[in-house]
Copies of this chain bind each other. A is one copy, B any other.
Amino acid sequence: MESVTGTRERIVNAGAELLRRNGYTGTGVKQIVEAANAPFGSLYHFFPGGKEQLGEEVIRTSGMMYLALFEIFFADEPDLIHGIEACFASAAETLKATDYADACPIATVALEVASTNEKLRIATADVFTAWIETGAEKLGKYGLGPESARRLTIALVNSLEGAFVLSRSLRNTEALDVAGASSVAFARTLLAS
């Protein structure tokens, strides 16, 4: 009932924002504690494993927060197509509102560590696995078989992640608009099969 934001929490939050925008190797630990308004020593007090331990926690927590966002969109949505369209429209809005900075919280790090840091690679894999499994469970409510629901979920993540790459680079939301349309087309195909 006190301390709205502890030092440890501020470090994780600042780390999440910096890793999302600048990547893992592109972000320094000193940069993180400064942004968190935390003393440097606190970083190694709360994270004895150093940058890697902080990185892993950032990946897992922000990955789960992003999943919660997805679940909200489909919580009370009776129509699958509307839910998909709302997801991509919301992603486009957020991206534009943050000057094309806030896309996927872990994609940049995921690509950076895929071939270089096995512990962090596994953290990103666990997040993506949770997205796919939880998403498939939710989308299974719309009259799709288990395998179709899983494949549709993967297709949604594919299109979203890829559109984030194009949209951030090109600084426009055309790719996200197309991603919504192509995802809807795949959903209709699966619903009709």
Contact = CB atoms under 8 A, between A and B. Distances in A.
Nearest to A102: B115
Interface in A138-193: 151, 154-155, 157-166, 168-171, 174-175, 178-179, 181-183, 185-186, 188-189
Interface string A14-56: 0000000111111000000000000000000000000000000
B166 A179 contact: no
A80 interface: no
A125 interface: yes
A182 to B, nearest CB: 4
A169 B164 CA distance: 17
Taken together, the copies of this chain in the complex come to 2
A125 B129 CA distance: 30
A110 interface: yes
A128 B169 contact: yes
Interface residues of A, number: 50
A111 interface: yes
A31 to B, nearest CB: 12
A121 interface: yes
30 contacts: A21-B115, A22-B112, A23-B25, A25-B25, A101-B115, A108-B112, A110-B169, A111-B168, A125-B169, A125-B170, A128-B169, A128-B170, A151-B182, A154-B178, A155-B159, A155-B182, A157-B162, A157-B166, A158-B158, A158-B163, A158-B166, A158-B175, A158-B178, A161-B166, A162-B163, A182-B183, A185-B186, A185-B189, A188-B189, A189-B189
